[in-house]
Amino acid sequence: MQLFPSTYFTYKNKQLYCEGVAVTQIVKQTGTPTYIYSKKYFEDASKEFDEAFRAVRHKIFYAAKSNFNLSVIKTFIELGSGVDVNSEGELYRALKAGAKPEKIILTSVGKTKNEIKLGLERDVLMIKAESEEEVYLINEIASSMNKIARVAIRVNPDVNPKTHPYISTGLSENKFGVDSETALKLFRKQKELKNILFTGIDMHIGSQITTLSPFVEAVEKLANLFLILKKEGLELIHFDIGGGIGIQYNDEKTFSVNKFAEALLPIVKKLNCEIIFEPGRYLTANAGILVTEVLYTKKNQHKNFLVVDAAMTDLLRPSIYGAYHHVQPVKLDESRSEIIADVVGPVCESGDFLAKERTIQKCEHGDLLAVMSAGAYGMVMASNYNARRKPAEILVTGNSFSIIRARETFEHLVFDEENYL
């Protein structure tokens, strides 16, 4: 049985700790399933990213979609990050967590009129437009409000990010952004669009990208577009590379943020503008685990099952993407033999699983398991299917921990319905 390599989740006396706190100590108070995050990981990853690009003017905008817990967003704000939001709900959360509007970017391939209006009312740093129609709509809404909208155009560079097709966003067949020719046409209409100020070019080619070449290819393409516009007299002030750096879930060969910087700095330095990054998964995924309790063990002619109290309603990624998350015991017991088992949840779907065909120490009722790399796209994708309550979330800081989201109550499950009975 292999253990996931981490300096933030380690074993002491065969018990799993997050930083200086035993996982068992946390779940005694919170129960299971529960998400646990390491604040030190957030801090270290953010500082590492910032330091890697010290050679150019840059800003980090944390991609709230990866983990929008208020305390998590607040942590990144306190570290100097802005916030990239993808809906009016994420905008509300960012403001609630303390983000200043001038450090918020409003993204989304399908913004409603209300979302555009809200972004303008709040005076966010910029709105990213993803279609020609949207540019005209932003101009119209801004005119009706007697405002000038700061707009970046998201350009789809038609680059294969070599990732899961569901999280590829930089190919021409994907719904995101506009092609370079359309972008060029729109930028050249700056004088006609009286209530828009174009401030930048944006890209985001996908998520969980584990090779550098797609980034280099995309940045080179859009840097050329940036320089064409500059030569024509349009002075853009932002070049937004987005996010997408892959992390280790299993045995992926990934690259460090320093290698990322080494590859991109020679290209972006010549732009002489502020470079924007929007990391999400890179900052949060390996900062978190999902702790679950073994309810039953069962065996048939074909395989072993560990039935646990966490489900696809708590961590959807394995079910929707076939994503790998390492699963390991919270308490190691070398006296137990190893088995190969599927780790499955209580939901009435055969697609409800957290892991398949995993080598793990033999488990018993009441044992705790840690699902690793669960800090990104975990709780944010949780649902109430089967009327299951959403789990608690915990933030560990050194030798102490705090509840940053209580387990959902039964009352909360029905609060917006019962008055209509």
Identity of the amino acid at 119: G
Q: What is the pLDDT of residues 170-193, one digit of tens each?
A: 445 566 679 889 999 999 999 999
Locate 39 and state its tokens: 């604040």
Q: What is the pLDDT of residue 165?
A: 55
Q: What is the pLDDT of residue 170?
A: 46
Q: What is the pLDDT of residue 169?
A: 53
CATH topology of domain 9-38+286-414: Lyase, Ornithine Decarboxylase; Chain A, domain 1 (2.40.37)
- The radius of gyration of the chain from alpha carbons, rounded to an integer in Å, stands at 23
**Euclidean distance between CA atoms 401 and 24, whole angstroms:** 12
| DSSP-derived pairing of the beta strands 392-397 and 400-405 | antiparallel
* Mean pLDDT in residue range 62-84: 98
Closest CA to 380 of 370, 371, 390, 389: 390
Q: What is the pLDDT of residues 87-104, one digit of tens each?
A: 999 999 999 999 999 999
User: Has residue 168 got a pLDDT over 60?
Assistant: no
Q: Which residue has the higher pLDDT, 154 or 204?
A: 154
Q: What is the pLDDT of residue 28?
A: 98
Locate 202 and state its tokens: 């944006």
* Mean pLDDT in residue range 357-365: 96
pLDDT above 70 as % of the chain: 96
What pTM does this model have?
0.94
> With 0-12 CB in 10 A as exposed, 13-18 as middle and 19+ as buried, what is 233?
exposed
Q: What is the pLDDT of residue 395?
A: 99
Cβ(183)–Cβ(219) below 8 Å: no
Q: What is the pLDDT of residue 177?
A: 77
User: Has residue 167 got a pLDDT over 70?
Assistant: no
Q: Which residue has the higher pLDDT, 173 or 386?
A: 386
CATH number corresponding to 107-279: 3.20.20.10
Q: What is the pLDDT of residue 161?
A: 57
Q: What is the pLDDT of residue 156?
A: 87
Active site residue 18: no
In the chain, ranges of CATH 2.40.37.10 domains: 9-38+286-414
Q: What is the pLDDT of residue 292?
A: 99
User: Has residue 371 got a pLDDT over 90?
Assistant: yes
Q: What is the pLDDT of residue 57?
A: 97
Closest CA to 62 of 98, 16, 34: 98
Reported as a pLDDT band with limits 50, 70 and 90, residue 62 is: very high
Catalytic member of 18, 273, 348, 363: 348
Walk across the sheet containing 21-22 and list its strands. 9-12, 15-18, 21-22
In the chain, ranges of CATH 3.20.20.10 domains: 107-279
Across the chain, mean pLDDT equals 94
Q: What is the pLDDT of residues 114-166, one digit of tens each?
A: 999 999 999 999 999 999 999 999 999 999 999 999 999 999 887 755 555 55
Locate 237 and state its tokens: 């002030």
* Mean pLDDT in residue range 345-363: 96
